[in-house]
Amino acid sequence: MLEKIGEFNMEKVIDDFEAMTSDAERIQKETLKKILEQNRSAEYLQLLGLNGRTDLETFKRVVPLVTHTDLDPYIQRIADGDSSPVLTGKPITTISLSSGTTQGRSKFIPFNDELMENTMQIFQTSFAFRNREFPIGNGKALQFIYGSKQFQTKGGLAAGTATTNVYRCSKFKETMKAMQTPCCSPDEVIFGLEFHQSLYCHLLCGLLFSDEVQLVSSTFAHSIVQAFRTFELLWEELCADIRDGSLSSRITVPSIRAAMLKLLEPNPELADSVYRKCSGLSNWYGLIPALFPNAKYIYGVMTGSMELYLNKLRHYAADLPLLSADYGASEGWIAANVNPKVPTEMTTYVVLPNIGYFEFIPVRDGIDFKPVGLTEVKIGEEYEVVVTNFAGLYRYRLGDVVKVMGFHNSTPELKFLCRSNLLLTINIDKNTEKDLQISVEEAAKLLAAEKLEVVDFSSHVDLSTNPGHYVIFWELSGEASQEVLNECCNCLDKSFVDAGYRSSRKVNGIGPLELRILRKGTFQKVLNHYLAQGSAVNQFKTPRCVGVNNSKVLQILCGNVVRSFTSTAYDI
């Protein structure tokens, strides 16, 4: 039996989920009806001629599939202070900023109470299933989370990243408490706005509460790896702070300092214990369970573009399970990980049929087909996700590609594949984010023999040469020999198996792939660049392809190349 904790009855959450997913078709229709009823006065729907109708057939006939660009003028009017019902019946009062790391710039997205409710529903659902398999005790969560700056739009609406909008909400804290996992760090650290200082203090708080830590988490796994890479560099300083009950002079934000000093008092035993544990590790293997002996698992999004970081995370985690967090976007939540025992790379997400109306555009050979409903998808097929939500997005193409792996009751289980926009293309070649990742993973295997790894990567289509060619940027964990990197370069080139690429390479319609090795710390500079522009660390995803229009990032990458290699894989 699952126990009841506070106001949160896990058994009921699971029962509700099972009932809902067993009746997905009906729930989807009802959800659409509710969305259209609530927003019948919205100008956008009226202009399309929906005339208050709420049935699926009319909806599909009169409402077009759109992208963010189509809705941008409406969202902009809302942000500029138009409080008439533009996209929603009730005025929107908060704007979310998407991470902007996939497209190069942040987008404005409407946020409202319903999205907040959905967030709590998703958190509770996956927690109930997770806790059944990996029960945690009362304690704390070491969460590497960072609030971003909130500002007011021209029209006075509060704007911040979706994650910040969530963390700031009192319901979030209540839910975390009900799930036994309040964050180790005080609010001043989470909302400190100085990322490096907040990270240092998150680590320090984790150590101060090390015996209470039940889990280590972040929104995206990237932040956890980054945190422990930082720990490797700063652990002695952290130990000194614990020993003396003082705080490193690197922490300069007064609110963070004040909050941290309240927690600190000289604790030589703890400092000694951390020191001993760290000294006893071999190449930091098993660092996380060594520091946090009561942690039950590590939690954060680990699929899609986060897969690159899994090797490093496994190294820090040793045998501690790695559980991927749910699937969602600033535009709203989509699906929960309710099978936490499945190996991380194979994680699937079950759609919650009452949090929006979902459609799926089949993606085959790059051709767009007509969208199908949630319960009409087929196992083994790939689809682009289309969302209609409670916050003014109607038939909105999210830009993600997923694969249907099976069904949970009558609701599909999705595997996240990649962003849908093509990344690398010169002529007839088409390579997606996933193709690039596969190629990088293949080539990275050659580094394993030298005990090296790819810390992070990106790519670029270089059309300044004739013919154009692919450039792959790698930051490595150490020095690799000329010979191995030559091999890696050839392997990257060979591992793009797209027929268009191969045939173009053979006839020199595309030039030899170039592997450029970057100075250590280059991707940290890329992150800093995004942070300076107001992006949030929580939602940061390394851009996997950098175009010429993203000139600043391209400059950072090109300006930090230390060695470069040209493929001979197709030389005759």
Residues 163 and 219: beta-carbon distance below 8 Å: yes
In the bound state with ligand AMP, the residue whose beta carbon lies nearer, of 56 and 169, is 169
Contacts of residue 149, Cβ cutoff 8 Å, sequence gap at least 6: 160, 193, 534
Q: Number of residues interacting with ligand AMP: please give it, by CB under 6 A.
A: 16
Residue 92 DSSP label: P
Q: How far is the CB of 324 from ligand AMP (least distance, A)?
A: 6
State the residue for tokens 């400059």. 555
Residue 527 within binding range of ligand AMP, rule CB under 6 A: no
Residue 148 within binding range of ligand AMP, rule CB under 6 A: no
Q: How far is the CB of 337 from ligand AMP (least distance, A)?
A: 7
Residue 188 within binding range of ligand AMP, rule CB under 6 A: no
Q: How far is the CB of 541 from ligand AMP (least distance, A)?
A: 6
Q: How far is the CB of 394 from ligand AMP (least distance, A)?
A: 18
Amino acid in position 307: E
SS (H, E, C) 110-125: EECHHHHHHHHHHHHH
In the bound state with ligand AMP, the residue whose beta carbon lies nearer, of 230 and 330, is 330
Touching ligand AMP, residues 294-313 (CB under 6 A): 301, 303-304
End-to-end CA distance of the chain: 67
Q: Which stretch binds ligand AMP (CB under 6 A): 59-67, 166-174, 210-218, 327-335?
A: 327-335
Q: How far is the CB of 363 from ligand AMP (least distance, A)?
A: 14
In the bound state with ligand AMP, the residue whose beta carbon lies nearer, of 101 and 198, is 101
Amino acid in position 336: A
Q: How far is the CB of 166 from ligand AMP (least distance, A)?
A: 11
Residue 432 within binding range of ligand AMP, rule CB under 6 A: no
Q: How far is the CB of 333 from ligand AMP (least distance, A)?
A: 9
Residue 98 within binding range of ligand AMP, rule CB under 6 A: yes
196's enclosing H/E stretch is: helix 195-208
- Alpha carbon 467 to its chain centroid, in Å, reads 35
Q: How far is the CB of 123 from ligand AMP (least distance, A)?
A: 13
Q: Which of 557, 552, 568, 566 is nearest to 465 (CA)?
A: 566
In the bound state with ligand AMP, the residue whose beta carbon lies nearer, of 100 and 512, is 100
524 φ, ψ to 5°? -65, -35
Q: Which two tokens stand for residue 200?
A: 């240092």
In the bound state with ligand AMP, the residue whose beta carbon lies nearer, of 419 and 516, is 419
Residues 470 and 424: beta-carbon distance below 8 Å: yes
Residue 329 within binding range of ligand AMP, rule CB under 6 A: yes
From candidates 192, 328, 353, 511, binder to ligand AMP by CB under 6 A: 328
Residue 400 within binding range of ligand AMP, rule CB under 6 A: yes
Helix 195-208 vs helix 268-280: crossing angle, to nearest 10: 100
Residue 221 within binding range of ligand AMP, rule CB under 6 A: no
Q: Sign of torsion, CA 359 361 119 89? A: negative
Q: Which two tokens stand for residue 1?
A: 């039996």
Reduced DSSP (H G I as helix, E B as strand, rest coil) percent helix, strand, coil of the chain, to 5: 40, 20, 35
Touching ligand AMP, residues 407-426 (CB under 6 A): 416, 419
The rounded distance, in Å, linking the Cα atoms of 416 and 346 is 10
Q: How far is the CB of 67 from ligand AMP (least distance, A)?
A: 13
Per DSSP, the three-state class of 367 is strand
| Burial class (CB within 10 angstroms; exposed 0-12, middle 13-18, buried 19+) of 77 | middle
79 φ, ψ to 5°? -65, -30
Residues 374 and 404: beta-carbon distance below 8 Å: no
- What's the angle, vertex CA 233, arms to CA 231 and CA 236, rounded to 5? 80
Q: How far is the CB of 396 from ligand AMP (least distance, A)?
A: 11
Residues 187 and 170: beta-carbon distance below 8 Å: no
Residue 431 within binding range of ligand AMP, rule CB under 6 A: no
Q: How far is the CB of 101 from ligand AMP (least distance, A)?
A: 7
Residue 340 within binding range of ligand AMP, rule CB under 6 A: no
Residue 457 within binding range of ligand AMP, rule CB under 6 A: no
Give the nearest residue (CB) to ligand AMP.
304
Q: Lay out the site mask for ligand AMP across 152-171 (x = CB under 6 A, - = otherwise).
A: ----------x---------
Residue 178 within binding range of ligand AMP, rule CB under 6 A: no
Q: Which of 56, 62, 58 is nearest to 25 (CA)?
A: 56
Residue 530 within binding range of ligand AMP, rule CB under 6 A: no
In Å, how far are 430, 480, 543 from 380, measured between CA atoms?
Answer: 21, 39, 28
Amino acid in position 474: W
How crowded is residue 367: how many other Cβ atoms within 10 Å of its Cβ?
Answer: 7
Q: Which stretch binds ligand AMP (CB under 6 A): 207-215, 321-329, 402-410, 557-565?
A: 321-329
State the residue for tokens 């101060």. 208
Residue 118 within binding range of ligand AMP, rule CB under 6 A: no
Residue 328 DSSP label: E
Residue 333 within binding range of ligand AMP, rule CB under 6 A: no
Residue 75 within binding range of ligand AMP, rule CB under 6 A: no
Residue 99 within binding range of ligand AMP, rule CB under 6 A: yes
Q: How far is the CB of 411 from ligand AMP (least distance, A)?
A: 16
Q: How far is the CB of 529 from ligand AMP (least distance, A)?
A: 17
In the bound state with ligand AMP, the residue whose beta carbon lies nearer, of 296 and 541, is 541
From candidates 108, 297, 327, 496, binder to ligand AMP by CB under 6 A: 327
**Footprint on this chain of ligand AMP (rule: CB under 6 A):** 98-99, 162, 301, 303-304, 324, 327-330, 398, 400, 416, 419, 539
